[in-house]
Amino acid sequence: MGADLERLKQRIPLLEYLQRHHWTGHQVVGTRSEFVGLCPLHEDTHPSFYVNTQKNLFYCHGCGRGGDLIRYVELKQHLSFRQSVAYLEEELAPTAQLLAHTAAFYQLELHRLPEGIQYLTHRGVHDAALIEELGIGYARGGNLRPHLQALGYSLERLLQAGLITPQGRDAFCQRVIFPCRQQDHIVNLYGRSIGSAFPHRLLPRSKGGLFAWESVRQFRHVILVEGLFDLAVLWQAGFRNTTCAIGTRLTPAQLDQLRENPDRCVYIAFDQDENQAGQNAADALLQCLDQAGLYVRLVSLPAGHDPNSYFVAGAKAQDFDHLLQEAVSL
C-alpha cells in the first residue's frame, strides 16, 4: 500500500493537481519551490495557502490545515482517506489508459505505413530496438477516433483529452509520436510534424517530468537536450544519460528532479541556431541551474547544429564525447 500511495502521489505533483483545479499560485520571492495563493479550503481574502513543490506538501496559515495530495483531497472533497485514494485513482488513471491505447495504436501504424519510418531515417533514428523502446509511433490523422470509439471511449472523453479537436479532427495528423511517460504511465504525447504543419505539438496537459527520468536519474552526469530527436540520436550513440525537457524551459518539478542529487553535473546541449535563441535559452538555464547549486557545463555544437543534426551530418559518438570534454562551465 505504501509504495502504491507514493506512486499515486508522484504521478501528479500537488502543484500540478491544484493548477488543474484552477488554483493560481505565485512563486514566493527568493525561493524556488514555494508557491502561495488563496486557500481553496476556506474563504480566503489574503493569500495564505503555501505549496512546497520539493516536499509536495501544502500548508495554509489561515485555516491551519496542511499535508499531501491525499490529505488535500480528503479536505476538499470531504472524503475519508481510503475514499480519497480511490477518488484520485479514478481521476488520474482513465486518461493514462486512454493515452496508452492511443500510443499503442500509433505504434502499430508506424509499421503499417512507410512515411513514419522514412521520417525517422531522415532524422538519423534507425535502431529498431530503440524505436520500440521509446514507443515511437506514427499518426496519419483521420483514423484515431473510430479506433478509440470501438474500444468504448466516448467522443467527449477524446475531446477532453485533446486527442480530437473541437472541430472533430485528430489532434495529431502526419506526425511522428513520442509518448511521455512518468512512473510507467503515459502523461502526454509529443507529435513531430513530418509535413508543413507547425513542427511541435503536445496535448493540452502537463508534459510531465524530465523525459525518461526513471532511467536517467541514476547518472551523476546528465545531458540535457531540447528535443526528443536529439535524445533519440544520443541514446542510439550510447549516451543513455540524456534527458529532455521538451523545450528550453524547465518546470519547477523538472528542476527538482535534477536537484535530487546535489553532486549532479548537467551538460546543456541546446541548438546553436543562427538567431542566438538556443544560446540565450541555454545561458538562462545555465544561470538558473547554477543558482540551484548544480554543476553545469555548456556544450558547444558547431554553428547551426543541434545534437540531432550533428549526428545526421555524420558525427560519431567520439565526436560528441569530445564536445562533452570541451564543455565550459559558468
Contact flags string 18-47 toward Zn ion, x per CB under 5 A? ---------------------x-xx-----
Stretch that binds Zn ion, among 62-70, 94-102, 164-172, 194-202 (CB under 5 A): 62-70
From the CB of 60, what's the least distance to Zn ion, in Å? 3
Nearer to Zn ion, 39 or 266 (CB): 39
C-alpha 103/C-alpha 173 separation (Å) is 14
Nearer to Zn ion, 41 or 100 (CB): 41
Q: Which of 32, 54, 62, 104 binds Zn ion (CB under 5 A)?
A: 62
Nearer to Zn ion, 36 or 265 (CB): 36
C-alpha 125/C-alpha 131 separation (Å) is 8
Give Cα 187 distance to the centre of its chain. Answer: 8
Nearer to Zn ion, 60 or 233 (CB): 60
Number of residues that bind Zn ion (CB under 5 A): 6
State yes or no: residue 61 binds Zn ion (CB under 5 A).
no
Nearer to Zn ion, 30 or 64 (CB): 64
State yes or no: residue 51 binds Zn ion (CB under 5 A).
no
Whose CA is closest to 209, among 255, 163, 268, 242? 255
Q: Which residues pair with 243 in a beta bridge?
A: 224
Nearer to Zn ion, 38 or 250 (CB): 38
SS3 (DSSP) at 76: helix
C-alpha 242/C-alpha 223 separation (Å) is 4
From the CB of 48, what's the least distance to Zn ion, in Å? 6
* Torsional sign, CA 235, 141, 144, 165: positive
Q: What does each C-alpha distance from 242 to 48, 245, 251, 268, 280 come to in angstroms?
A: 39, 10, 17, 10, 21
Contact flags string 270-309 toward Zn ion, x per CB under 5 A? ----------------------------------------
Whose CA is closest to 100, among 173, 180, 200, 216? 180
Q: In what order do the strands lie in the sheet with 265-269?
A: 242-244, 221-225, 265-269, 295-298
Q: Which of 15, 60, 171, 234 binds Zn ion (CB under 5 A)?
A: 60
C-alpha 186/C-alpha 218 separation (Å) is 21
From the CB of 42, what's the least distance to Zn ion, in Å? 4
From the CB of 75, what's the least distance to Zn ion, in Å? 9
Nearer to Zn ion, 63 or 323 (CB): 63
State yes or no: residue 63 binds Zn ion (CB under 5 A).
yes
C-alpha 65/C-alpha 51 separation (Å) is 12
From the CB of 26, what's the least distance to Zn ion, in Å? 16
- The residue ranges that bind Zn ion (CB under 5 A) are 39, 41-42, 60, 62-63
